[in-house]
């Protein structure tokens, strides 16, 4: 229900993102209320893993949210390019997402729409959580709120939501990062929501045979249909994930004093080559990461 523009903050003299409500929706009180609520919710936040809001403006008969301008790409865009990510990278992203969610939950706010499109990755691999437009207080009934492919059973049943709702969506997002596809990938939205109530998600280890057992456990527990069987809060999830960072990150990272070199390789290819190239690049990045070498990819038209 909005456009996002790049702008320049005159007072701060810095680039900003300007989220503007569409004019045709600005006449509807429900949309205006929701837009204001989103702005007020994140305007009070101050966390490195949540996008920062500078200001809220009402002009030209519509509303604007003035936000931090981010360079990089969404997790959704990265997954389209890479298909799936190595476990070390997934763990790094998860710990940052959890840190942001833990902060939001401490403010009594449930995001309600955690998904790859709302996770932003900056060039230094820092994560920012975006779009609190569907956020609600703990204990509020969901009113069928969320993105169908990432909704928890309680959201689909319009029950009260809490930290475990975001944990469920985070588990689904983790599944997608590791497997390169969503659970029940070939089903439409209505079928997925029905299956969400009737079946546990497929075991990701069936798609990723070499998946570390601890990451498999995290996904399955986070995505338990029964809220009582999930991690009860983000702190529990972090406690389970923290040891994995040491297990899967390169043993020796280059520090800033190391004399580093950079190599570039250009591949000229057609669309039919993309899936196999994604697989080969993933294998390559896995191998070089064990040496402590950073691997980055980028697409050029």
Q: Which residues are catalytic?
A: 113
Residue with token string 């810095």: 14
Q: Are 209 and 129 in contact (CB under 8 A)?
A: no
Smallest Cα–Cα separation from 149: which of 109, 111, 201?
201
- CB distance 232 to 163 below 8 Å: yes
User: How far, in Å, CA of 272 to CA of 276, rounded?
Assistant: 8
In degrees, rounded to 5, the angle at the alpha carbon of residue 165 between the alpha carbons of residues 163 and 170 is 95
Q: Are 175 and 222 in contact (CB under 8 A)?
A: no
Dihedral (Cα; 181, 187, 189, 193), 10-degree rounding: -90
Strand partners, 58: 63
The structure tokens listed for 177 are: 């990062």
Quote the distance between the C-alpha of residue 296 and its chain's center: 19
Matching residue, tokens 């865009």: 77
Task: Report residue 210 CA to chain centroid gap.
Answer: 23
Which H or E run contains 74? strand 73-74
Of 22, 26, 62, 36, give the one whose Cα is nearest residue 133. 36
């Amino acid at each position: 229900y909005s456009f996002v523009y790049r702008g320049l903050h005159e007072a701060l003299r810095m680039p900003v993102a300007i989220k503007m409500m569409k004019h045709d929706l600005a006449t509807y009180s429900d949309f205006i209320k929701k837009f204001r609520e989103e702005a007020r919710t994140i305007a009070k936040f101050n966390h490195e893993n949540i996008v920062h809001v500078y200001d809220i403006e009402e002009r030209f008969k519509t509303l604007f949210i003035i936000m931090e301008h981010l360079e990089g790409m969404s997790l959704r865009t990265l997954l389209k390019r890479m298909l799936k990510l190595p476990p070390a990278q997934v763990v790094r992203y998860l710990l940052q997402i959890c840190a942001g969610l833990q902060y939001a939950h401490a403010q009594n706010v449930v995001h309600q729409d955690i998904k790859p499109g709302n996770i932003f990755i900056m060039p230094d691999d820092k994560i920012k959580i975006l779009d609190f437009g569907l956020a609600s207080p703990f204990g509020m009934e969901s009113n069928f709120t969320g993105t169908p492919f990432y909704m928890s059973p309680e959201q689909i049943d319009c029950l009260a939501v809490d930290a475990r709702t975001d944990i469920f969506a985070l588990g689904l997002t983790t599944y997608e990062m590791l497997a390169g596809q969503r659970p029940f990938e070939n089903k439409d939205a209505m079928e997925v929501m029905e299956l969400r109530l009737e079946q546990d998600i497929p075991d990701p280890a069936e798609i990723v045979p070499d998946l570390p057992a601890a990451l498999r456990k995290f996904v399955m527990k986070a995505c338990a249909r029964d809220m009582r069987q999930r991690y009860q809060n983000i702190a529990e999830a972090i406690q389970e994930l923290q040891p994995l960072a040491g297990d899967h990150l390169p043993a020796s990272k280059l520090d800033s004093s190391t004399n580093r070199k950079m190599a570039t390789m250009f591949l000229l290819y057609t669309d039919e080559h993309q899936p196999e190239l994604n697989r080969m690049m993933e294998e390559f990045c896995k191998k070089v990461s064990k040496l402590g070498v950073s691997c980055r990819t980028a697409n050029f038209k």
